[in-house]
Chain A
Amino acid sequence: MKGICLFFEVHQPLRLKRYRFFDIGSDHYYYDDYNNETILREVAQECYLPANKLMLKLIKKLGPEFRISYSLTGVLMDQLETYAPEVLDSFRELAATGQVEFLAETYSHSLASMANKEEFIKQVRMHGDKIKKHFGAEPVSFRNTEMVYSDETGSWVADMGFKAMLTEGAKHILGWRSPDLLYCNSINPRLKVLLRNFQLSDDIAFRFSNRDWNEWPLTADKFAGWINKRDDDAELINIFMDYETFGEHQKAETGIFEFMEELPAAIMTSTDYTFMTPSQIAEEFQPVSALKVPDPVSWADEERDLTAWLGNDLQNAAFNKLYSLADRVSNCNDEDILNDWIYLQVSDHLYYMCTKFFSDGAVHQYFNPYESPYDAFMNYMNVLSDFEIRLDAACPGDDVNQEIVSLRKKLEEKEEEINERVIEIRRLRSKVKSLTISSTASGEEKKEKRKTAGAAVKQKKQGTGGKKPVPKDVKPAGKGKTSKTKQTKRSK
Chain B
Amino acid sequence: MKVLMFGWEFPPHISGGLGTASYGLTRGMASIPDIDVLFVVPKAYGDEVKEGLDLIGANNVKVAYKQIHYRGESRSFDKIEVDSQIVPYTDPEDFWKITRQEEKDNRLIVETNDRGMLDFTGSYGSGLISEIDKYSIVASVIAAENDFDLIHAHDWLAYPAGLAAKEVSGKPLVIHVHATDFDRSGGNVNPVVYNIEKQGMEAADRIITVSNLTRQTVINKYHIDPSKVTTVYNAVEPQGGIYDEYEKRSINDKVVTFLGRITLQKGPEYFIEAAYRVLQVMDNVRFVMAGSGDMMEKMIRRAAELNITDRFHFTGFLRGSDVYWMLRLSDVYIMPSVSEPFGISPLEAMQSNVPVIISKQSGVAEILTHAVKIDFWDIDAMADAIHAILSYPALSEMFIKNGREEVENLKWENSARKVREVYLEAVN
Contact = CB atoms under 8 A, between A and B. Distances in A.
B399 interface: yes
B384 A374 contact: no
A378 B392 contact: yes
A355 B405 CA distance: 14
Interface string B369-405: 1101100000011011101100111110111011000
A381 B398 contact: no
B280 interface: yes
A381 B280 contact: no
Contact of A22 (B277, B373, B397): B277
B277 A313 contact: no
A22 B392 contact: no
Given A22-B277, A371-B373, A381 B384 contact: no
Interface string B270-283: 00000001101100
Given A313-B394, A313-B398, A22 B388 contact: no
A285 interface: no
A321 B323 CA distance: 36
A330 interface: no
Given A358-B369, A382-B388, A21 B394 contact: no
B394 to A, nearest CB: 3
Contacts of B380: 20, 22
B377 to A, nearest CB: 15
A440 interface: no
A389 interface: no
A219 B387 CA distance: 54
A10 B372 CA distance: 33
B384 A314 contact: no
Contacts of B281: 21-22, 24
A286 interface: no
A378 B373 CA distance: 13
B399 A22 contact: no
Given A20-B384, A358-B369, A382-B384, A374 B399 contact: yes
B381 to A, nearest CB: 8
A374 B394 contact: no
Contacts of A381: 388, 391-392, 395
Contacts of B383: 20-22
B388 A314 contact: no
Contact of B391 (A21, A312, A316, A318): A21
Contact of B398 (A358, A374, A375): A374
A483 interface: no
A410 B280 CA distance: 34
The secondary-structure label for the interface of chain B is helix
Given A20-B380, A382-B388, A374 B395 contact: yes
A313 B397 contact: yes
Nearest to B277: A22
A314 B391 contact: no
Contact of B395 (A22, A316, A371, A378): A378
A317 interface: yes
B265 to A, nearest CB: 24
B354 to A, nearest CB: 15
Contacts of B369: 358, 372
B373 A21 contact: no
A378 B398 contact: no
A377 interface: yes
A311 to B, nearest CB: 12
Contacts of A317: 392-395
B391 A22 contact: no
A325 B425 CA distance: 62
A492 to B, nearest CB: 43
A173 B392 CA distance: 36
B331 to A, nearest CB: 15
Given A21-B383, A21-B384, A316 B394 contact: yes
B346 to A, nearest CB: 14
Nearest to A384: B392
Nearest to B371: A374
A378 B394 contact: no
A265 to B, nearest CB: 49
A381 B388 CA distance: 8
Interface in A314-347: 314, 316-318
Interface string B347-380: 0000000000000000000000110110000001
Nearest to A317: B394
Contacts of B399: 374
Interface in A350-400: 355, 358, 371-372, 374-375, 377-378, 381-382, 385
Interface string B8-29: 0000000000000000000000
Interface string B296-308: 0000000000000
Contacts of B402: 355
B283 to A, nearest CB: 14
B142 to A, nearest CB: 46
Interface in B273-295: 277-278, 280-281
Given A317-B392, A358-B369, A371-B373, A21 B387 contact: yes
B70 to A, nearest CB: 55
Q: Which of A21, A318, A371, A378 has the most CB of B within 10 A?
A: A21
Most buried by B among A22, A24, A355, A374: A374
Contacts of A375: 372
B277 A378 contact: no
Interface string B52-81: 000000000000000000000000000000
A370 to B, nearest CB: 12
A21 B277 CA distance: 10
Interface in A6-53: 20-22, 24
Nearest to A385: B391
A378 B385 contact: yes
Nearest to B394: A317
Interface centre among B277, B280, B398 (most CB of A within 10 A): B398
Contacts of B388: 21, 377-378, 381-382
A314 B389 CA distance: 12
Contacts of B370: 374
A183 B369 CA distance: 43
A355 B370 CA distance: 10
A442 to B, nearest CB: 64
Contacts of A377: 388, 392, 394-395
Nearest to A21: B387
B394 A372 contact: no
A375 B395 CA distance: 10
Contacts of B392: 317, 377-378, 381
Contacts of A355: 398, 402
13 contacts: A21-B278, A21-B391, A22-B383, A22-B384, A313-B401, A358-B369, A371-B373, A372-B373, A374-B372, A374-B398, A377-B392, A378-B385, A381-B392
7 closest Cβ pairs, A-B complex: A317-B394, A378-B388, A21-B387, A20-B384, A381-B392, A313-B394, A313-B398
Interface of B: 277-278, 280-281, 369-370, 372-373, 380-381, 383-385, 387-388, 391-395, 397-399, 401-402
Given A22-B280, A313-B401, 4 more contacts: A358-B369, A372-B369, A372-B373, A378-B395
